A and B are shown apart, each in its own frame.
Chain A
Amino acid sequence: MIHQAEDPVLEIHDLTVSYDRKPVLWDIDLTLPKGQLIGIVGPNGAGKSTLIKSIMDLIPNSSGYIKLFDQPLKDVRGKISYVPQRESVDWDFPASVMDVVLMGRYGKLGLFKRPRKADKEVALDALRKVGMEAYTNRQISQLSGGQQQRVFIARALAQQADLYFMDEPFSGVDAATEKAIITLLREMSAKGKTVVVVHHDLQSVTQYFDWLILLNMRLVASGPTSEVFNKDLLQETYGGKLTLLSDVGDLIRRERFPSREQTAKTKK
């Protein structure tokens, strides 16, 4: 059940990703449409975060290629923004909310340059959008989980990108904040931005997402939510772990086997 999008913003071709040689994502092929709110759903350990990390080139892929706006990532970085998991950083860092959101401008600023007034205005605007303008000068160590999450989203907004990848933006967030964030993401997609979100809660899937990716070590389905969100495909995603697949992966790691016969040669 894999729908292909026309004129895709993201094209993944035959992607395999391994940790310590063990493949955690097998042969992913998918395309994503522009201007939609897209959910990535799957059980724990399905490789959801791994997928967006490898799209952002944070972990190397063992095979295949990824194209964004029909180009490799390094040529279109300015149009792409990433929200890491909230727990991935130490929040007891000497910085204010403003300092962190301004980091979203660093890519455009370039080396050595200090943020200008215009950058601060963009950052403030991003904070306003997530409802955190009252916390501009607050120390990040004093924020609650939901506030930290909103700061991360504001930082991504400050990049003024066209395509956003967000890793679990609703984890540790209260219901009211979740609602505010989803409203914001909806507005963004209405303006033609594409937002890809790793999500955990199946309850809200149909309500939140236009397009859905079902993932469990391999791609189970990708397509419009109305067509993909059904009992059979969910059963395939969540029911029964592919233990054979996982055992083969373990074997590859144990035997120090390459995950492709000719990885080094085929890579350009």
Chain B
Amino acid sequence: MDSFIEFFSFTDPNIRYVVIGSILLTASSAIVGSFTFLKKKALVGDAVAHAVLPGVCLSFLIYGEKNPFVLIIGAFLTGWLSLILIDYISAKSKIKEDTAIGLILSVFFGIGIFMLTIIQKSGNAAQTGLDQFLFGKAASLVGQDLIAFAVIAVILISAVIFLFKEFTILAFDEDYASTLGLPVRAIELVLTTLTVLAVVVGIQAVGVVLMAAMLITPAAAARFWTEKIQVMVLLAAIFGAFSGLSGAYISYIAPSMPTGPWIVIVVSTIAFISFFMAPRRGIVYRMRNQRKIKKQINDENILKALYHLGEEEKNYFEKRTIEEILQKRVFHPASLKIGLKRLKRQGYIHNSNGYWYFSKAGRDKGQRVVKLHRLWELYLTEYLRIAPDHVHDDADTIEHILTPELEARLEKLLDYPTVDPHSSEIPYR
């Protein structure tokens, strides 16, 4: 707990560096990654992330020490080169883009690891910590790094703000953007450059191997919560920043831990929560919705059975036993009982001494379901020319979904018919 307070009071300047640095890195890569995600280019980010490793090593070999600016330049160059090669291979050869990405990713990463091994074996004392580019280490950020990252983060964020509408139209409909006369190639070039930059700074915190997650996962999680692109990008930045902050904290309390995996675990957890809990798009919402529909169908079927019973005896308000209802229609006994109780609560039916009977509202509702069922049967036979003995099952489903508006249209279209294809009366109120 002490370490928690110590960390989040931000009194130690080192902690401040680490926290600000991590947040800048993760948030800015999440912002740029939002467009990579919308353009469906998730794998490209992964390729770039792996391709920066040889650049980092090469700069170190040439320059001889770990200067962030020099390392960034090297990383930028090889990251860029990988993208050009991917484009060139998929445009000029029979190899498709996914294969080209796979090829470039592994070749560059292989060379990177090879060079890293040489550096580590060379005995150069300055090389310690270079392997942190593999899995990231937020806690190793120092003041000098911070300046470099802050500069890049500012470039990234302001470029996105200025070119927001251009990036959006490019992600949605690139061909159309080009017919408008927008400089599509140039905008694409800027976006690619930003992606490479985001990767280059991001690997310091997350590492080469897991960088793609930092680009894509926050955006994927944010997409669940909103239909507005501005909100989506903002949410992605917040998710990214939060995971960056947690990564920095973990890196602080457990110095032997690589930061990257932790940041990725945090952001993936956010994505999982979004996947399940988000309104409309989330799984829990959809399941609840399904359950609601099931209940509605069950209850309306009970009302329909009661109505059918009433129809036979021309007495809709007669008291019925559960056995009578079950003879009319097969229900799971438990869901019948639950449904009856629910309908009673809602005021559609009454109960006295174990007998169930319609209220006025319940009779009307049951009548409507029966009417919709028969209208739909008639529609199917008249307009779709389906045989009368094949329409029942279809109508059994459709009767529950038709809205009053569609009901009115059906009535009008069929000219207020009085009987269905089986000569049963269509009841009107």
Contact = CB atoms under 8 A, between A and B. Distances in A.
A89 B40 CA distance: 12
A100 B181 contact: no
A205 interface: no
A13 to B, nearest CB: 21
Greatest chain B CB density within 10 A among A58, A77, A93 is at A93
A89 B179 contact: no
A56 B180 CA distance: 10
Given A89-B172, A106-B169, A111-B163, A77 B181 contact: yes
Interface in A107-156: 107, 109, 111-112, 114-115, 139, 141, 155
Contacts of A155: 176
A44 interface: no
A198 to B, nearest CB: 15
A230 interface: no
Given A84-B173, A94-B232, A100-B172, A106 B227 contact: no
Given A94-B223, A96-B227, A141-B227, A58 B178 contact: yes
Question: Which are the 4 A-B pairs with shortest beta-carbon distances?
Answer: A107-B180, A77-B181, A82-B179, A139-B227
A147 B178 CA distance: 24
B175 interface: yes
A78 interface: yes
16 contacts: A77-B181, A78-B181, A80-B179, A82-B179, A90-B40, A90-B172, A94-B223, A94-B232, A95-B229, A99-B229, A103-B177, A106-B165, A106-B182, A109-B165, A111-B163, A111-B166
Nearest to A111: B166
A57 B179 CA distance: 8
Given A74-B181, A77-B181, A114-B165, A103 B176 contact: yes
Contacts of B228: 94-96
A53 B38 CA distance: 24
A235 interface: no
B168 interface: yes
Instruction: Determine the main DSSP class of A at the interface with B.
Output: mixed
B226 interface: yes
B171 interface: yes
Nearest to B173: A89
Classify chain B: how many residues form its interface, as a range: 20 to 34
A93 B38 contact: yes
A40 B112 CA distance: 55
A84 B175 CA distance: 8
Contacts of B223: 94
Contacts of B169: 103, 106
Given A95-B229, A111-B163, A88 B182 contact: no
Interface string B218-229: 000001001111
Contacts of B165: 106, 109, 114-115
A88 B176 CA distance: 10
A53 B180 CA distance: 13
B173 A103 contact: yes
